[in-house]
Structure 1
Amino acid sequence: MRSAVWTVPNVLSMARLALVPVFAVLITTGQDVWALLVLAVSGVSDWLDGYLARRLDQVTKLGQLLDPAADRLFIVVTLVGLAWRGVVPLWVLVVVVARDVMLACLVPYLARRGYGPLQVGFVGKAGTFALLYAFPLLLLAQMPGAVGPVAQVVGWAFTWWGVGLYWLAGLQYVAQARRLVRAEPSEDEGGDG
């Protein structure tokens, strides 16, 4: 694990983070074509930064924080924009944000014990992928013509799967944190004696 900052994958993640406010403006003002384009660029850069980090052996601590942060911000901003416009009900936003708040509460708890971010698992990646795939489809569902109804059905299917997997992964992360803490030696076992 490297501590470098200016690697190609990290720069891509930083650029993706910089696109979040641009996307927020586009989605809330109804500029769906541009919003979809920004989401597509974000999705490609998300895949590319992970691929390059492994391929170029540039996996860094910063990258392990930036990449999921960009994903979470895109998810939340997209849901806020879609809820703002009435495309998704408010409960979808609340359910997804509640999971992220739950996990955010684990960070200081684990940090006090010397642990960094939890290892991202397959279920977490699948849930994030499903949600990030659902949102462009829900935006496309607003388009007139035959594309809209098909995108609506497929978009909601991915939304349900994404929310389910997102929460399943969240519960797995809580269990992982509990295992880490339980594996610590108790004060009675340790000591200087």
Structure 2
Amino acid sequence: MSERAGKIILRNLWSENQVLRQILGICSSLAVTNLLVNSLVMGLGLTFVTSLSCLTLSVMRNLVPHRIRMLVQTLIIASYVIFVDIVIKAYLPGISKSLGPYVGLIITNCIIMGRLEAYAQKNPPFASLLDGFFSGLGYTFVLLAIAFIRELLGFGTLFGRSVNFVGFETWTIMVMPPAAFFIIG
């Protein structure tokens, strides 16, 4: 792996993590992190969309006039989000219902637009794909960390399996969306 790829990975997973460092993607971090399975599906969906959107825009970057670049970016993102939404509805209907409109709101997620503007617009396809993938993966890790705490304390479960300890009482507040604020800090 090249030094440049290593820097992209480290930057997106930790030093410039979109949720922890840049405070982006907070709405979904609050809304879907009550259960690990919801967080995993949302994170993987966003990783897929971010990766392919970055790749697509990087390939097309010299063909898109500057004055309509945001429109083109939104159309690229929307195409991939619609695909992800259809796949989730077809293969994971229960999770799709649980996530509700949040999958569709990936279109407006600042993480994706930020990576397209800051990186994919100016860099070659493979580097852009790598940047998009690890941006999404960094987001997914944060969602899973928040969901781990919220599901364990709020429901006494992990991935739906009971892990109750003797004398442990669940914390109702951890089930509510604002609980993610307590965890993020």
TM-score (norm. length: structure 2): 0.29
Whichever of the two has the greater Rg, that structure is 1
TM-score (norm. length: structure 1): 0.28
